[in-house]
Amino acid sequence: MKMLATKQTGRLTINSVLMHCPAWTMVDLTELWFLQLVKGSDINVPGLAAGQRAYKRKMDAARHSLPMYIVGDFNKDGVSWYSSGYSSEMEGLEVNLGYLETNVLDPTIGTTIAASLELPSGTIRTAAIHVEGLKIDDRTQDAVSATLEISIPAGRFA
């Protein structure tokens, strides 16, 4: 099995699709763990003189590019490609990519969907997100590194 070594704990769930399972995993969720200022809200800039207005952020949504790794060795439930009836890991990879496309990408184009984020401490945060796309970065015979593009209209998971 070809998996990236990662120290990640916690997980991301998008519309009940767990984004950390034997078939695929988010490589790093660190940028989502930390509460961020909500883009579009007023913030006070250090050193702001009395009477000056707070700086207004320009964007309404926070955008994130989340690295992930997808393999063909197993399906989402941990069953090997051979036991699943596939002819090869390559076919298993195509099935896994198809599952993500059908259950994460297709239903969400242009719509906001529910997502939850589990922090390493076990705390669960939620957000309404847009899934913008899944970009394949590098492909071997039976695995791909990819980037899941999301935007969070509220700016952060809360």
Domain positions in the chain are 15-40+55-152
Task: Check pLDDT > 90 for residue 112.
Answer: no
Average pLDDT, the chain: 81
Q: Summarize pLDDT for 40-85 with one digit per residue, the tens.
A: 444 445 555 566 655 444 455 688 899 999 999 999 999 999 998 8
d(CA 51, CA 16): 48
CA dihedral 17, 92, 22, 104 (to 10 degrees): -20
β-pair partners for 133: 149
For residue 38, pLDDT over 50 is answered with no
Residue 16 has pLDDT above 60, yes or no: yes
Name residues whose C-beta falls within 8 Å of residue 63's C-beta, 6 or more positions apart in sequence: 132, 149, 150, 151, 152
Residue 5, pLDDT score:
42
d(CA 117, CA 140): 29
Supply angle C-alpha 20, 32, 74, rounded to 5: 10
Whether 117 has a pLDDT exceeding 80, the answer reads: yes
Mean pLDDT for 94-110 is 84
Global pTM reads 0.76
**CA-to-CA separations, 126 to 41, 68, 111, in angstroms, rounded:** 19, 20, 16
